[in-house]
Amino acid sequence: MTSSSDLTAPATAPGASRRALAQLFVATVTWIALGLAAGLFYREFTKAQGFPNGVSGQLALVHTHLLALGALVTLIVLALEKLFMLSASRLFRWFFWIYNAGVLLTGAMMTWHGILDVQKAEASKAISGIAGAGHILIGAGFVLLLITLWKGIRRSS
C-alpha cells in the first residue's frame, strides 16, 4: 500500500525543477500556437463555408479556450513552479499530463462539434460525452494542482 508521503516525496534529480520549467514553457508555447491556429482556422473555415459573419458557434470558442485553459494556466503554473517548486511532488507529473490531456480532448471535441455546426450537420451525442470526459480530466488536473500547490506552500514555510 502506498502512503501519502510516498506520493509527495521530493523528486530525486536536482534538475527536476529546471526540467519542469522547460516542460511548462514548451507547453505554454504549444498552447499559444494551437490557440492562434484555432482562431485562424475559425476565421478562414467559416468564410469559406459562407457562415454568417458575427454568428458565434462552438468553433468560435476553441481559440479562447486553448489560450485561456492551455496557455494562461500553464504560464501561471510555470510561475508557481518557480516560487514553490511544485515538481518536488510526484503529483506534479500527474497534474501536468492529466490536465493537458483534458484541455486537448476538450479542444478537439469543440473543434469537431464546431465544424459540424458550421456545416449544419447533426452532431453525435458521443461528441458531448467525450468533451465531458475532457472536462473531467481538466477538473482532476486542477485538484492535483491544488494539492501540489498546498504541499509546496507548506514546504516553503
CA distance 69 to 154: 26
Q: What is the pLDDT of residues 59-73, one digit of tens each?
A: 999 999 999 999 999
CA distance 70 to 35: 8
Alpha carbon 93 to its chain centroid, in Å, reads: 13
pLDDT in tens, the chain (157 residues): 444 554 544 444 458 899 999 999 999 999 999 999 999 999 999 999 998 877 778 999 999 999 999 999 999 999 999 999 999 999 999 999 999 999 999 999 999 999 999 999 998 999 999 999 999 999 999 999 999 999 999 999 8
CA distance 101 to 134: 7
DSSP 63-75: HHHIIIIIIIHHH
CA distance 117 to 100: 25
Return the C-alpha cell found at 19: 526540467
- Counted residue by residue, the chain has a size of 157
Give the per-residue pLDDT at 2.
Answer: 44
Q: Cell 485561456 identifies what position?
A: 68
Helix axes 125-156, 91-118, angle to 10 degrees: 150
- What is the pTM for the complete model shown? 0.88
